[in-house]
Structure 1
Amino acid sequence: MRLSLPSLSRQLKALLFSSFIAFQAGAATVPDGITETSSVEGISEFRLSNGLRVLLAPDDSKPTTTVNMTYLVGSRMENYGETGMAHLLEHMLFKGTPTTRNALGEFNRRGLQANGSTSTDRTNFFASFAANPDTLKWYLGWQADAMVNSLIARADLDTEMPVVRNEMERGENSPFNILLQKMQGVAYQWHSYGKVTIGARSDVENVDIDQLRAFYHQYYQPDNAVLIVAGKFDPDSTLQAISDTLGKLPKPTRKLRREYTVEPVQDGERSVTLRRVGGTPLVAALYHIPAAGSPDFAPLDLASTILSSEPSGRLYRELVTRKLAASAFGFTMDQLDPGIAMFGAQLEPKMNQDVALKALTDTIESIKKKPFTQEELDRARSRWLIDWDRTYADPERIGVALSEAIASGDWRLFFLERDRVRAAKLADVQRVAEQYFVRSNRVEGRYIPTPAPERAPANTRVDLADALKDYKGDPTYAQAAAFDASPANINKQTLRRTLDLPNGKVDLALLSKPTRGHRVHAKLLLQFGNEKTLRGQRTVADAVADLLTRGTDKLSRQAIDDRFDQLKADVHFSGSGTNLSIVISTTRDNLPAAIALALDVVRGANFPKDQVEEYKTQVITAIQNAMTEPPALASRTLARHDNPWPKDDIRYVPTFEESLASVNGLTRDMLVRFHKKFYGTGTIAFSAVGDFDVDAVQAALKKGLAGWQRGAPYTRIPMPFHTVPAKDYTIETPDKANAFFAAYLPLKVQDISPDYAALYLANYLLGSSGSSRLWDRIREKDGLSYDVGSSLDISSFEPQGSWSMHAIYAPQNRDRLQQALYDETSRVLKEGFTAQELKDGVNSLHNYFRLAYSQDGVVADAWIRYLRRGRDFTWVADLDRKIANLSLDQVNDVMRKYFDPAAFTTVYAGDFEKHKVEKTDK
């Protein structure tokens, strides 16, 4: 379960139109009691006689189904004393009904990836699974059951309460989250948007169970919900399944409470100051803006993008490049009622907050004096529409996006907002920015009286009926053909070959297949160097990879960003040590050009001095933040405990202080020398999965690599097993509401070992699934942790790996967490897993493997790994088969063979002294 801020501006776009036409025209058989009401670009709305609305968005190009149930209830509906109820009920609906007592465990056994989220305007329950009509009908049945039969039992609430507190405390660890909450509280005088979704601690901890049940029965009803089914499914049988399950629920007789609170226009600056331990300084400015349905929202969203994007944004230029801040940001919240836009900057401790805040607000409020340009608008619009394209092309993301649009007034707003962005004129963007980004409409860190009111236009909720009357959307929408995503077919359809170039070879894995929106995912891996040639180069190697896109001999940082935007390409460069990875997501026609540009960037990077200094500031700020965070402290402690290498070895893990010193010592000359010596051809792998032209891609690679020097010869750096003595650490983190537990056990085993399949399943049953032993005990039964689990990391290259465990929890619950961990691991070692756990785990993993095969990005990444290991998708199919053939004795024997509680190194990081004092005082 998770909290969701009111969705940050969706920044999404359009795709092509065609093969839903037969369905839209009435080819589907509509059962009695269901009426089709509207259809836009392949998405059709139906209404049941009990008031439930249904959206069907079929897409056969990916063999997965995603189901969202959106209830039109969020923290906006909560009254005094009721805060946090919507979020509590998000948790409680998973606790069970008389027929399904552990919904999350049942989801896991059936291979569903499921969760929920709560915001101000809606609560959303969603699940994704490998397309299967039986699984779909079962899940629809569960949704019907949970809608009217959830127990909302006192005992369940008691066990879940520590988990909710844990989630609350996790949010309280973030200075930004708390600053945003406080600023919203000051911004809204009467409207419920001023209350944080998770609720007041006193309301949550003292919630009346009968009042909570009454809230559930009031809002969790068919006429207050919208069901969204997206991905691969049969519309006819799905409508029938909906009729047979959710359609059987009676139409409610109660009346929903009328909402009438309107936030008055703010008539003067407001301020808030937050003081807490840890982290680095922040300054921010918040402004009231129109509701998501308003015609002014889209141009104002574009104005926000112009101000906050990096590196073209005005805030970036005025704060970061002038060294007044380490970074700058901005976003809008699209909500049913008038929402907010927030802008801010993160500072180094030595930076002046007053100067930074003045520069921030002056930049935002000087638009009338310094009007926006057409170039700025075109760049912002391009980025917005690229994001829209990517969301609409993904059946799993489209359901969430439609859910957010529903919460903002109507699902068709998802398309209407795209149209409004397309049509936005420079004059409109300029007008709304001048109207809303004014001093009297601002919340910041100080108060200053004004001689006369400066008020933004009054806002009201928008009636979308006229705007959406007869709305049909983009007529160019198109559907993609189905693809068999089995390992055997992936192997069969993938072209695997080697490009033998004069200056080296490139290993290829190219899987061309139809996709929605003609999308394609690609990955390029460049490898160089060894443990000897990379001595003393750890920080330099990281910085070179991070700074590649900051400029070349021919292109500035902004020009690089703009060119990738023009190619509708989402491109990420990352690397450290011996590796550089480039991940590309774009469209069929743009992939060759995106590859060419990416290679130009890598070859021509020139590391501008100002960008190097800016990068150093940002990394130093991030390290300073990490030095007070429990998870970062615990993870670094474990990594250094298992660290036998000398300080100049690339495998060495430095202290935070050593990292700061190393980053401070970086110079442009160091980066240029490293790039010249190590980057080049020699050891390169490339994969692409999706809709693309195989010949055009190969031609782009040949041309982009032609004439490039060979890089430093690559040899994989070994990571041999070594014994690590067990040790227990306790780290004090003053004033942190959350604590973190981490444990590490080194293993001398390789993934070709006969034990690997059993070890993989044993870890899954112990702590990597939604029905694992650790999850059931610590999360579900005891309610001690929001996130708890175990993980396995086993090498493919040598007998070396690790078994680890983790949990976040309240510092005062440390003893209870330790006892629960001891109880569950001891019970597994003594009694073993059960036959039912084995059966459920095998089935669940099989379904998760199937789900992974259908994700183009996952397949592209897997092909890179397999190319480097001499493998193909037979590997994962064999692993799936081996897991299915495991006996219970094999799994339990392997668990006992490798899992040694006494050999774990543990770290507990948190504010334990504070709670020790509180306990003593009591």
Structure 2
Amino acid sequence: MKKLLMLLSTALMLGGIASAQKIAFEEYDLENGMHVILHKDHSAPVVVTSVMYHVGAKDDAPNRTGFAHFFEHLLFEGTANIKRGEWMKIVTSNGGTNNANTNDDRTYYYEVFPSNNLELALWMESERMMHPVINEIGVNTQKNVIKEEKRTNYDNRPYGNYLAVVKKNIFKNHPYRNTTIGSMEDIEAATLEEFQAFNKKFYVPNNAVLVVAGDFEKNQAKEWIQNYFGTIEKGETIIKQTFVEEPITQTLKATYVDDNIQTPMILTSYRIPSMKTRDARVLDAISTLLSDGKSSRLYKKIVDDKKLALQIGAFTYSNEDHGMYIIYGLPLGENTTETILKEIDQEIVRLQTDLISEKELQRLENVTDNRFVNNNSTVEGIAENLATYYLLYGDVNLINTEIDLYHSITREEIRAVAKKYLNPNQRLILDYVPSPVEIKN
């Protein structure tokens, strides 16, 4: 009885938090096509100013991979009114922090300042958009930065290239087959004029959303936004290319040798639909069921009970056009990757055959509620979510309603979606192995 009361209390608490955390916002467009979203929160004297551009690794030209990620770095080099090397100094000297990140679909820049520095943040982001300085000095500097990033985060990191290998084999036509960081050969071969043309095409107001979130006065913010962004010239209309991927109808196999590892890893990956679809959300729920926490199906069986693996996991790698569903495992001791794959497949068949229990469904809802609360627990998180839901999903209010979509997932749906996407003839099997040991005579 005590345990039941505790469960009920937890569920009510999460439900109460979820309903209390409805995110209020206002959105509108400037005449140049820039979308603006405002979210007021006076709970702390900070304000987040962010700009998300609808350009990511998928927009890199053939043989020029890595451009979007390169610009994540390059656009900190300076502007007509911010000297080279001064960007970070201005931010830190005014009590702020800032950063940027890039993925396959978008690039995101943001500053967090004390609320009395909102005008400064808006001016800086408008400077970045209006007239960045793109010259040989900045390009050459960032080439060296990105070479080091590639060595550190990919080439010299254990298992650092697994995602690159999976993407290359899962996608045949879509530029998702390339990595975000791209090819160093492509970056080295690019001319200054190509970098300038990329900037002119994508880093324009009608390809961006501006979010201001936190402690600010709305009327003053709107005035500053108009002053700093409203005068920026609209760019040419960007037409996104459509890429068709034929269904995977037979098992794909690949092997990758990583000199940085000693324990092999088995990965199996399935191509899945856009993150905007209901099926993608069901698959996300399935990954939670399989590998979220020590009570999850794969962990409990393969790691805890049978002690076959050091680590096991399942997750969706979600994107705007397509996604991937990836399951991986690292064998323990003398166990093999083949044994782990067999156990994984048994759990998939179980999902495709039997309905999950009501208790498991409730656990999924609890995890979803907790994730929802955590994702919107900071003004920084809210700002990024608002931008993402507008730019990639086309519906800002999903920040409030997506949780209802997850709650509406049924046990029957989970079984049906597992049957639809997670089949042996629809996947890649990747053997990610260490270098063979040389035997000396």
CA contact (8 A) 2:143 2:188 kept: yes
Give the match for residue 441 of structure 1.
426
Instruction: Show structure 2 runs of 5+ residues with no match.
Output: 1-13, 436-441
Number of the residue aligned with 2:324: 340
Aligned CA distance change for structure 1 residues 365 and 198 (closer, same or farther; 3 Å): farther
**What is residue 94 of structure 2 aligned with on the other side?**
110
Trace 1:129-208 onto structure 2 (pairs within 5 A). 129-132=113-116, 135-172=117-154, 173-208=156-191
The answer to whether residue 355 in structure 2 is matched with residue 352 in structure 1 is: no
Shift of 1:16: 4.0
Partner residue, 2:209? 226
* Equivalent residue number for residue 63 of structure 2: 81
Q: State the match for 2:199 in structure 1.
A: 216
Report the Cα offset of residue 407 of structure 1.
4.5
The match for 1:291 among 252, 255, 274 is: 274
Spell out, residue by residue over 1:471-509, the C-alpha distance to the aligned partner (whole angstroms, 9 max, x if none): xxxxxxxxxxxxxxxxxxxxxxxxxxxxxxxxxxxxxxx
Sort the Cα spacing of 1:349 and 1:161 in 2 relative to 1 into closer, same or farther, 3 A.
farther
**Partner amino acid for 1:257?**
I
> Which residue of structure 1 aligns with residue 234 of structure 2?
251
- Residue pairs, 1:235-384, within 5 angstroms: 235-252=218-235, 254-279=236-261, 280-321=263-304, 322-348=306-332, 350-384=334-368
Verify the 8 A CA contact 2:256 2:430 in the aligned structure 1. Answer: no
Q: CA deviation at 1:210?
A: 0.7
When residues 176 and 404 of structure 1 are mapped into structure 2, their CA distance, relative to the original with a 3 A threshold, is: farther
The 1:415–1:262 alpha-carbon spacing in structure 2 relative to 1, beyond 3 Å, is: farther
How many correspondences in the alignment?
413
Q: 1:293, 1:413 within 8 Å by CA — same for their partners in 2?
A: no
Kindly provide the amino acid, as one letter, of the partner of residue 421 in structure 2.
Answer: Y
| SS at 1:263 equivalent | coil
Q: Provide closer, same or farther for how the CA distance between residues 343 and 404 of structure 1 changes in structure 2, counting only shifts above 3 A.
A: farther
Corresponding residue to 1:403 among 376, 387, 403: 387
The 8 Å contact of residues 72 and 224 in structure 1, kept in 2 or not, is answered as: yes
Distance of 1:150 and 1:185 partners within structure 2: 33
CA distance in 2, matches of 1:97, 1:137: 17
Partner residue, 1:418: 403
What amino acid is the match of 2:399? F
What's the secondary structure of 1:67's corresponding residue?
A: strand
CA contact (8 A) 1:15 1:393 kept: no
1:916 is matched with none
Structure 1 residue 393, shift from structure 2 partner: 2.9
**Alignment-derived partner of residue 7 in structure 2:** none
Equivalent residue letter for 1:63: P
Shift of residue 369, structure 1, vs aligned partner: 2.7
User: Partners of 1:162 and 1:95 in 2: how far apart?
Assistant: 14
The one-letter amino acid of 1:212's match is F
Q: Is the 8 A contact 2:126 2:229 kept in 1?
A: yes
* C-alpha displacement of 1:367: 1.7
CA distance in 2, matches of 1:437, 1:190: 21
SS in 2 for 1:125: strand
Contact 1:17 1:42 (C-alpha < 8 Å) held by counterparts: no
Computing the radius of gyration from Cα coordinates, the structure with the larger value is: 1
For residue 738 of structure 1, what is the aligned residue in structure 2?
none
Contact 2:355–2:412 (8 Å) recurs in 1: no
| Separation of aligned partners in 2, 1:82 and 1:265 | 27
Letter in 1 for 2:423: V
Match of residue 543 from structure 1: none
2:42 counterpart of 1:57: no
Show the 5 A alignment for 1:36-75.
Answer: 41-75=23-57
Where do residues 640-789 of structure 1 align in structure 2 (5 Å cutoff)?
Answer: none
Alpha-carbon distance change, 325 to 266 in structure 1, aligned in 2, over 3 angstroms: same
Residues 175/214 of structure 1: CA separation in 2 closer, same or farther (3 Å cut):
same
Residues 64-102 of structure 1 show CA distances to partners (whole Å, capped at 9, x for unaligned) of 111211000001111212210001111111001121023
| 8 Å Cα contact 2:354-2:415 kept in structure 1 | no
Tell me which of 406, 413, 417 is aligned to 1:428: 413
| Deviation digits for residues 870-906 of structure 1 (CA, Å, limit 9, x no counterpart) | xxxxxxxxxxxxxxxxxxxxxxxxxxxxxxxxxxxxx
Offset of residue 305 of structure 1: 0.7
Distance 2:389 2:313 in 1: 24
Cα pair 1:281 1:353 within 8 Å, conserved: yes
| Superposition map of 1:383-782 within 5 A | 383-410=367-394, 411-445=396-430
Separation of aligned partners in 1, 2:405 and 2:76: 38
Q: Distance in 2 between matches of 1:76 and 1:395?
A: 29
- Return the alpha-carbon distance in structure 2 between the equivalents of residues 319 and 332 of structure 1: 20
Distance in 2 between the 1:180 and 1:104 partners?
31
For residues 100 and 314 of structure 1, the distance between their equivalents in structure 2, rounded to whole angstroms, comes to 54
SS in 1 for 2:187: helix
Work out the CA distance in 2 between the residues paired with 1:404 and 1:433.
Answer: 27
Counterpart residue type for residue 219 of structure 1: F
The CA deviation at 1:177 is: 3.1
SS at match of 1:343: strand
- RMSD in angstroms over aligned alpha carbons? 2.1
Contact between 1:141 and 1:245, CA under 8 Å: does it hold in 2? yes
User: 1:97 — aligned with what?
Assistant: 79
User: What letter corresponds to residue 216 of structure 1 in structure 2?
Assistant: N
Asked which structure has the greater RCO (Cα within 8 Å, sep 6+), the reply is 2
User: CA–CA distance in 2 between the matches of 1:238 and 1:223?
Assistant: 20
Cα deviations by residue, 1:634-664 (Å, 9 ceiling, x for unpaired): xxxxxxxxxxxxxxxxxxxxxxxxxxxxxxx
Query: Which amino acid in structure 1 is aligned with residue 240 of structure 2?
Result: R
Query: Measured at CA, do residues 415 and 194 of structure 1 come closer, stay the same or move farther in structure 2, by a change above 3 Å?
Result: farther
1: CA distance between counterparts of 2:397 and 2:429?
Answer: 35
Runs of 4+ in 1 over 4 A off after TM superposition: none
Superposition deviation, residue 349 in structure 1? 5.2
Which residue identity lines up with residue 37 of structure 2 in the other structure? L
Structure 1 residues 350 and 406, CA, compared in 2 at 3 Å: closer, same or farther?
farther
Q: Which deviations, in whole Å up to 9, do the C-alpha atoms of 1:725-776 show, x marking residues without a partner?
A: xxxxxxxxx9xxxxxxxxxxxxxxxxxxxxxxxxxxxxxxxxxxxxxxxxxx
Distance 1:82 1:273, change over 3 A: same
Distance in 2, Cα, partners of 1:205 & 1:333 = 29
Aligned-partner residue type, residue 314 of structure 2 = G
CA offset digits 1:352-389 (Å, max 9, x no partner): 12211222233224422343222112112211211111
Residues 84 and 204, structure 1, Cα contact 8 Å, conserved in 2:
yes
Q: Secondary structure at the match of 1:367?
A: helix
CA distance in 1 between partners of 2:32 and 2:376 (Å) = 30
Q: CA 1:154–1:129 in structure 2 vs 1: closer, same or farther (change >3 Å)?
A: same
Matching of residues 862-881 of structure 1 within 5 Å: none
Give the drift of 1:174: 2.7
Contact kept, 8 Å, 2:312 with 2:329, in 1: the verdict is: yes
* Kept after mapping to 2: 8 A contact 1:75/1:85: yes
Question: Does the 8 Å contact 1:281/1:348 carry over to 2?
Answer: no
| 3-state secondary structure, aligned to 2:309 | coil
